[in-house]
Amino acid sequence: MLETFPYLLVSVTLSVLAIIVAIRIYSANPRKELKITSIILGGGIIWLVMSALEVSSVNFSAKLLFQETHFLGLVLVPTPFLLLAMLISGYEKYVNRKTIVLFSIVPLITLLLLLHKRIPQPHLDKH
Rounded distance between C-alpha atoms, residue 7 and residue 26, angstroms = 28
* Domain spans, the chain: 6-124
- Residue-level length of the chain: 127
pTM of the model: 0.71
Q: Is 90 left (phi over 0), alpha (psi -120 to 50) or beta?
A: left
Cα-to-chain-centroid distance, residue 1: 23
Across-strand partners of 2? Answer: 57
Question: 57 - beta bridge partners?
Answer: 2
**How would you write the pLDDT of the chain (127 residues) with one tens digit per residue?**
455 567 677 777 877 888 888 788 778 777 888 888 888 888 888 888 888 888 877 888 888 888 888 888 888 888 889 998 998 898 888 888 898 899 989 888 888 887 776 655 555 555 5
Q: How many helices (H) and strands (E) does the chain have?
A: 5, 0
Helix (H, G, I), strand (E, B) or coil at 57: strand
